[in-house]
């Protein structure tokens, strides 16, 4: 009998993971950006590539956009294009990190004129959200300082709250703001939203439509990320995930590649806290594919999330709770690890086929010839972020 009970199948069938448009552009490090044949030349082609991921997995029904990287003449046209391809437009990501005016901050800047410009950018993003039908405005701020004494950290925190209040006030019904935290980079001494506690304090002061975004690559090595997941779910403030994996810093590698066990532990807490298939908790990827092909990189990523979700669903929670209550440390750990070590790949392949999907989406996509077609059709694709 398959390990996939009807309850597990039902949970898996509902799973939705949003893809980032920038994952389909060329990307790299400050040392080199390698070009990939067939890289999208505009947001329409990025959406077309993202739709391939959904076509072969049924796991990725929406695509996050980035403003201004994905600015187009008509968001109505982009929305129709997406819907024609079977996907929707998702989270809108703002950008206050590519403009000379923001050298010393944007929403936290000492100069009211710079803050005005940064707030107006977010208000423009909300206008885009109305056209795209997006629910979430995701704010990641590249703000902070490099040297002790350089900046008034307290004043910046106060100005951040004031700026966020103005943006929050513009949100429409059903729209949300998610504030992402990151403990370093591009600033290296202090960051204005370095941790979940700061993000929580800032969004809690705004109201119910403001939530925390947890990027799995934005913590110090050794951080117990699943504890943070548990706490934010407990507080009702986990708005979204940016999934990726890392060996060292904010590596933005394929989720589940560096530490599958960590992904399992995170997903276990998501399930434990009622966050799986909960519309309040958006699953997104935030990744770049520097040396691997981008569409298969994204297919691999959503499959990794699906696989670890399945394993986490296999944890016998009643037995685990009993072992925990009785203080049976080793039995509790065995139950947890048994689920983690279960190879669910054959069962998932079978289940996919039963739903009319390819048993092996990676193979099916490779066999489709899509990459060769776009390599022939598209010339002059753009770098993620800095292009069209
Ligand atoms: C930056 O480190 C953050 O992870 C952002 O979420 C994101 O990568 C960037 O805003 C791209 O839009
Ligand atoms: Zn992120
Ligand atoms: Zn990041």
pLDDT of residue 388: 39
- Give the model confidence (pLDDT) of 309-358 as tens digits: 999 999 999 999 999 999 999 999 999 999 999 999 999 999 999 999 99
Does 80 sit behind a cis peptide bond, omega within 30 degrees of 0 on the bond before it? no
- The pLDDT value recorded for residue 238 is 99
Do 105 and 142 meet the contact criterion of CB atoms below 8 Å apart?
A: no
Count of Cβ atoms closer than 10 Å to residue 297 Cβ: 21
Please state the φ and ψ torsions of residue 346, each to the nearest 5 degrees.
-60, -40
Mean pLDDT of the region 360-375: 98
Burial bucket for residue 317 (CB in 10 Å: 0-12, 13-18, 19+)? middle
Which atom of ligand 1 is found nearest the CA of 95?
10
pLDDT in tens, 189-235: 999 999 999 999 999 999 999 999 999 999 999 999 999 999 999 99
Quote the pLDDT of residue 1.
63
pTM of the model: 0.97
- C-alpha of residue 286 to centroid of ligand 1, in Å: 7
User: How much is the average pLDDT of 1-27?
Assistant: 95
pLDDT, tens digit, for every residue of 172-193? Answer: 999 999 999 999 999 999 999 9
Give the whole-angstrom CA distance, residue 271 versus residue 312: 8
The residue ranking higher by pLDDT, 23 or 1, is 23
Backbone angles phi, psi at 264, to 5 degrees: -60, -45
Cα separation, 84 vs 62, in Å, equals 13
- The domain segmentation of the chain, as residue ranges, is 15-314+363-377
Query: For residue 363, what are the CA distances in angstroms to 37, 71, 105, 304?
Result: 20, 33, 46, 15
Q: How many angstroms is it from 125 CA to the middle of ligand 3?
A: 20
pLDDT, position 142:
98
Residue nearest to atom 6 of ligand 1 (CA): 140
Atom of ligand 1 nearest to the CA of 215: 4
For the Cβ of 66 lying below 6 angstroms from any atom of ligand 1, the answer is yes
Q: What angle do CA 180, 239, 116 make, to 5 degrees?
A: 45
Q: Which of 215, 384, 386 to mutate to test the pocket of ligand 1 (most atoms within 8 A of CB)?
A: 215
What's the CATH architecture for 15-314+363-377?
A: Alpha-Beta Barrel (3.20)
Q: Whose CA is nearest to atom 3 of ligand 1?
A: 140
Three-state SS at 213: strand
Q: Ligand 2 centre and the CA of 93: distance in Å?
A: 10
pLDDT at residue number 2:
85
* Neighbouring C-beta atoms of residue 31, cutoff 10 Å: 5
Report CA(276)–ligand 3 centroid distance (Å): 23
**pLDDT tens-digit readout, 57-77:** 999 999 999 999 999 999 999
Q: d(Cα 73, Cα 176) in Å, to the nearest integer?
A: 24
Calpha distance 192→97 (Å, rounded): 13
Residues with Cβ within 5 Å of ion ligand 2?
A: 215, 242, 286
Kindly report which listed range (23-37, 326-340, 372-386) carries the lowest average pLDDT score: 372-386
CA of 178 to the centre of ligand 2 (A): 11
Tell me, using a 6 A CB cutoff, whether residue 246 lines ligand 1.
no
How far apart are alpha carbons 252 and 106 in whole angstroms? 24
Cα–ligand 1 centroid distance for 140 (angstroms):
6
Under 8 Å CB-to-CB from 169, ≥6 apart: which residues?
Answer: none
> Is a pLDDT exceeding 60 seen at residue 33?
yes
In ligand 1, the atom with minimum distance to the C-alpha of 217 is 4
pLDDT of residue 387: 43
Quick one: which ligand is closest to 66's CA? 1
Confidence of residue 384 (pLDDT cuts 50, 70, 90): confident
Q: pLDDT for 267-286, tens place per residue?
A: 999 999 999 999 999 999 99
Using a 10 angstrom Cβ sphere, with 0-12 exposed, 13-18 middle and 19 or more buried, the burial of residue 98 is exposed
pLDDT at 50: 98
For position 274, what pLDDT does the model report?
Answer: 98
Q: Residues within 5 Å of ion ligand 3 by Cβ?
A: 250
Chain-centroid distance of CA 353 in Å reads 27
86 sits in the region (left: phi over 0; alpha: psi -120 to 50; else beta) called left
Distance between Cα 322 and ligand 2 center (Å): 37
* Residues 104, 75 contacting (CB under 8 angstroms): no
């Amino acid at each position: 009998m398959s390990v996939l009970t009807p309850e597990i199948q039902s949970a898996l069938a509902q799973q939705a993971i949003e893809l980032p448009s920038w994952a389909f552009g060329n990307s790299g490090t400050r040392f080199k950006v390698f070009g990939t044949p067939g890289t999208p030349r505009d947001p329409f082609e990025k959406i077309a590539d993202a739709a391939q991921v959904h076509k072969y997995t049924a796991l990725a029904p929406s695509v996050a956009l980035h403003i201004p990287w994905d600015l187009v003449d008509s968001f109505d046209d982009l929305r129709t294009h997406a819907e024609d391809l079977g996907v929707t437009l998702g989270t809108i990501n703002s950008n206050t990190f590519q403009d000379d005016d923001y050298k010393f901050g944007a929403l936290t800047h000492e100069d009211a004129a710079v803050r005005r410009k940064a707030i107006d950018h977010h208000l423009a993003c909300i206008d885009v959200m109305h056209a795209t039908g997006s629910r979430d405005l995701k704010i990641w701020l590249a703000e902070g300082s490099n040297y002790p004494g350089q900046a008034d950290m307290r004043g910046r925190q106060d100005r951040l709250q004031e700026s966020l209040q103005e943006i929050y006030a513009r949100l429409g019904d059903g729209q949300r703001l998610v504030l992402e935290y990151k403990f370093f980079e591009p600033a290296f001494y202090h960051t204005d939203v370095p941790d979940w506690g700061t993000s929580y304090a800032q969004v809690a002061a705004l109201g119910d439509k403001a939530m925390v975004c947890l990027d799995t690559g934005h913590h110090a090595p050794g951080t117990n990320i699943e504890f943070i997941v548990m706490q934010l779910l407990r507080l009702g403030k986990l708005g979204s995930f940016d999934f990726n994996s890392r060996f060292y810093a904010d590596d933005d590698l394929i989720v589940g590649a560096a530490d599958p066990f960590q992904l399992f532990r995170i997903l276990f807490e998501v399930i434990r806290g009622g966050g799986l298939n909960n519309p309040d908790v958006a699953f997104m990827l935030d990744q770049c594919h520097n040396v691997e092909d981008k569409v298969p990189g994204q297919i691999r990523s959503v499959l990794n999330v699906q696989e670890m979700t399945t394993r986490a669903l296999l944890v016998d929670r009643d037995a685990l709770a009993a072992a925990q209550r009785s203080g049976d440390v080793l039995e509790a750990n065995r139950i947890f690890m048994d689920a983690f070590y279960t190879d669910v790949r054959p069962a998932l392949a079978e289940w996919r086929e039963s739903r009319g999907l390819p048993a092996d989406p990676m193979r099916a996509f490779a066999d489709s010839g899509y990459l060769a077609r776009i390599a022939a059709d598209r010339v002059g694709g753009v770098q993620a972020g800095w292009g069209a």
